[in-house]
Amino acid sequence: MPRPGESADIVRTSAPITKNGDEWEVTLSGHPTREWWRFFQKPPETVTLADPSRVNFNGFAMVFRSPEDHVRHWIEMIDKWIASANESCRQGRNEKSQQQMDSDQATDARQDRIRELNERFKDV
C-alpha cells in the first residue's frame, strides 16, 4: 500500500479493444503522473513494431494504432513499459525518501549540537 503522497503502481486493467480494427485501447488502473509518463516514454527496451512514443493517453486509457497481427506484441511491450515506468518511479521515490532522511538526520545533529553548546555555556 502506498504511503500518503505516493501513487500506487499503474497496471493494465483490460484487454485491448477496438472500434475499427486499427486503433486499440487498454484501460489503466489509474491516471499516470507526468513523471510516470516520462519514464514510460523512455523505457530500457523498445522494438521497431512497437514504440512508446506512439502511445497516447486518454484519461485512464492508453491508445495505440496497430494492425491486428501485431496487437499481442504491442500488449507485451506495453506491459513491460508499464512495469519499467513503475520501477523507475519507485526508485525515484526511494531516492527522495533517503535524501529526506539524510536531511532530517543532519538537522537533528545540528539541533543536538546547539543544545550541547547552550547547556555547556548556560552558567557563563
- Domain extents in the chain: 17-120
Distance spanning both ends of the chain, measured CA to CA:
53
Q: Would you say 28 and 61 are in contact if contact means Cβ atoms under 8 Å apart?
A: yes
Strand duo 23-27 + 61-65: pairing: antiparallel
**pLDDT score for 47:** 67
Q: Would you say 49 and 73 are in contact if contact means Cβ atoms under 8 Å apart?
A: yes
* pLDDT, tens only, 42-81: 887 666 789 999 999 988 999 999 999 999 999 999 999 9
pLDDT band at 3 (very low <50, low <70, confident <90, very high): very low
pLDDT band at 120 (very low <50, low <70, confident <90, very high): confident
**pLDDT score for 99:** 56
What is the reported pTM?
Answer: 0.67
Long-range contacts of 66-74 (CB under 8 A, 24+ apart): 66/22, 66/24, 67/22, 68/21, 71/16, 71/24, 73/47, 73/49, 74/16, 74/24, 74/49, 74/50
pLDDT band at 28 (very low <50, low <70, confident <90, very high): very high
**The three three-digit cell numbers of residue 81, written as one number:** 513499459
